[in-house]
């Protein structure tokens, strides 16, 4: 990728300070007309393009008002226009946090739906460029879709979550490995030894599950071999399937991707939660339920996604990166009532 021409490059070639270049490109009337025209022509010849992020920030600084015209795209590709957000889906919604953070920088974040009837990747790319949009946040994709096609070289791009596998972009998401590792640590420190791992819905994306399992197995090695329980194979869809596994291995604690159904099945079968079985919720999205577990604020994921995207735009980095970066946010442990100490 050719190096981006900067304001300093133009200043060096013109033999002036970069502040003079900035004033000339804004057609500042107190500069001599000949100077303005010379610098403007040189900037055009060198291929200089004003960075939209820098322009927005500088205008906001000069006027004291947020810039309203700059737009970023929040791109989704679910079968329906709003299938990516609650109540259509149980997954956390990153969009509101991203909108708020974009506004802080003088940008407006707009939703664009790739699955519009008659839409193609080329047409979609053309629409964004025609709108003057060069920054894209890729929202969470549906469970059966892991690839997107766009003219990536036109845009600075960041994915949210782990659903996009191709192309490999910079992405921001939750630290799922540390979630289960820390959850296991909480169980062990409180005296639990037979700690099981169970998925409770079929909607947990495979890449997320792999990271959860990595953290679980990392900590399971600390337990005695006789206390190492096999994970539940597959996604339990009913109480009978889950209880068959539970009665076979008799865990004293469970780490679950969804705690509510697991707790319900156990209590209906006569097990006391947390008296006989402690439960940790990996996605503790409802602190009001009082479950012990890890809470990730989806607004922070969206906000950091915007910050990462604006950094790419500031540096003029577009297209699929050679070395994609991952920003993994740590969750907050919620004490809850479902994992009391056994010591």
DSSP 230-271: PPP-S---SHHHHHHHHHHH--SEEEESSHHHHHHHHHHTT-
Predicted confidence band of residue 30 (pLDDT cuts 50, 70, 90): confident
- Please compute the mean of the pLDDT values over residues 57-79 and round it to a whole number: 72
Q: Residue 45 is encoded by which pair of tokens?
A: 């010849």
* Predicted confidence (pLDDT) at residue 210 exceeds the cutoff of 60: yes
Predicted confidence band of residue 62 (pLDDT cuts 50, 70, 90): low
Q: Which tens digit of pLDDT belongs to each residue from 277-305?
A: 999 999 888 888 999 999 999 999 999 99
Q: Where is pLDDT greater, at 54 or 285?
A: 285
Which helix (H) or strand (E) element contains residue 283?
Answer: none
Q: Which tens digit of pLDDT belongs to each residue from 135-167?
A: 999 999 988 888 999 999 999 999 999 899 999
Tell me which DSSP letter residue 221 carries: T
* Predicted confidence (pLDDT) at residue 182 exceeds the cutoff of 90: yes
The reported pLDDT for the residue numbered 56 is 55
Q: Where are the beta strands (DSSP E) in 86-194?
A: 107-113, 135-138, 156-160, 170-174
Helices (H), 269-329: 298-315
Average pLDDT, the chain: 89
Q: Which tens digit of pLDDT belongs to each residue from 84-141?
A: 998 888 788 999 999 999 998 889 999 999 999 999 999 999 999 888 899 999 999 9
The reported pLDDT for the residue numbered 258 is 86
- Please compute the mean of the pLDDT values over residues 176-198 and round it to a whole number: 95
The reported pLDDT for the residue numbered 131 is 87
For 141, list phi and psi in degrees, rounded to 5.
-90, 160
Q: Residue 211 is encoded by which pair of tokens?
A: 């990271």
* Predicted confidence (pLDDT) at residue 57 exceeds the cutoff of 60: no
- Alpha carbons within 13 angstroms on the beta-carbon side of residue 214 total 11
Which of 157-161, 202-206, 272-276 comes out lowest in average pLDDT? Answer: 202-206
Domains identified in the chain and CATH numbers: 7-50 (1.10.260.40), 70-174+298-330 (3.40.50.2300), 176-296 (3.40.50.2300)
Mean pLDDT highest for which of 64-68, 198-202, 208-212, 303-307? 303-307
- The pTM for the full model equals 0.78
Q: Where is pLDDT greater, at 332 or 25?
A: 332
Q: What angle do CA 162, 163, 167 make, to 5 degrees?
A: 95
Tell me which DSSP letter residue 325 carries: -
Q: Where is pLDDT greater, at 30 or 75?
A: 75
The reported pLDDT for the residue numbered 17 is 92
* Predicted confidence (pLDDT) at residue 200 exceeds the cutoff of 80: no
Sheet holding 195-198, edge to edge: 195-198, 253-256, 278-281, 292-295, 332-334
For 244, list phi and psi in degrees, rounded to 5.
-60, -45
Predicted confidence band of residue 52 (pLDDT cuts 50, 70, 90): low
- SS3 state at 71: strand
Tell me how far apart the alpha carbons of residues 23 and 172 are, in angstroms, rounded to a whole number. Answer: 37
The reported pLDDT for the residue numbered 236 is 61
């Amino acid at each position: 990728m050719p190096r981006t021409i900067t304001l300093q490059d133009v200043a060096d070639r013109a033999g002036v300070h970069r502040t003079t270049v900035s004033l000339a490109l804004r057609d500042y009337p107190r500069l001599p007309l000949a100077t303005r025209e010379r610098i403007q022509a040189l900037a055009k010849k060198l291929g200089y393009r004003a960075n939209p992020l820098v322009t927005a920030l500088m205008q906001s600084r000069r006027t004291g008002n947020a810039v309203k015209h700059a737009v970023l795209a929040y791109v989704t590709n679910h079968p329906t226009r709003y299938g990516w957000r609650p109540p259509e889906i149980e997954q956390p919604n990153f969009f509101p946090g991203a909108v708020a953070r974009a506004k802080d920088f003088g940008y407006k974040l707009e939703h664009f739906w790739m699955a519009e009837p008659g839409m193609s990747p080329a047409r979609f790319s053309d629409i964004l460029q025609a709108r003057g949009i060069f920054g894209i946040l890729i929202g969470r994709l549906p469970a059966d879709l892991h690839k997107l096609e766009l003219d990536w070289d036109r845009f600075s791009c960041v994915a949210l979550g782990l659903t996009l596998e191709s192309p490999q972009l910079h992405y921001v998401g939750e630290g799922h490995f540390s979630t289960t590792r820390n959850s296991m640590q909480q169980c062990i420190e409180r005296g639990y030894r037979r700690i099981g791992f169970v998925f409770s819905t079929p909607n947990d994306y495979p890449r997320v599950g792999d990271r959860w399992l990595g953290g679980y197995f990392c900590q399971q090695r600390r337990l005695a071999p006789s206390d190492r329980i096999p994970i539940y194979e597959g996604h339990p869809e009913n109480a009978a399937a889950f209880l068959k596994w539970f009665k076979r291995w008799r865990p004293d604690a469970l780490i679950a991707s969804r705690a509510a159904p697991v707790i319900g099945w156990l209590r209906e079968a006569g097990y006391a939660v947390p008296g006989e079985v402690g439960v940790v919720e990996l996605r503790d999205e409802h602190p009001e339920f009082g479950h012990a577990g890890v809470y990730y604020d989806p607004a922070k994921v969206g906000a950091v996604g915007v910050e990462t995207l604006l950094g790419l735009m500031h540096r003029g980095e577009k297209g699929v990166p050679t070395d994609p970066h991952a920003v993994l946010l740590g969750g907050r442990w919620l004490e809850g009532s479902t994992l009391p100490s056994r010591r």
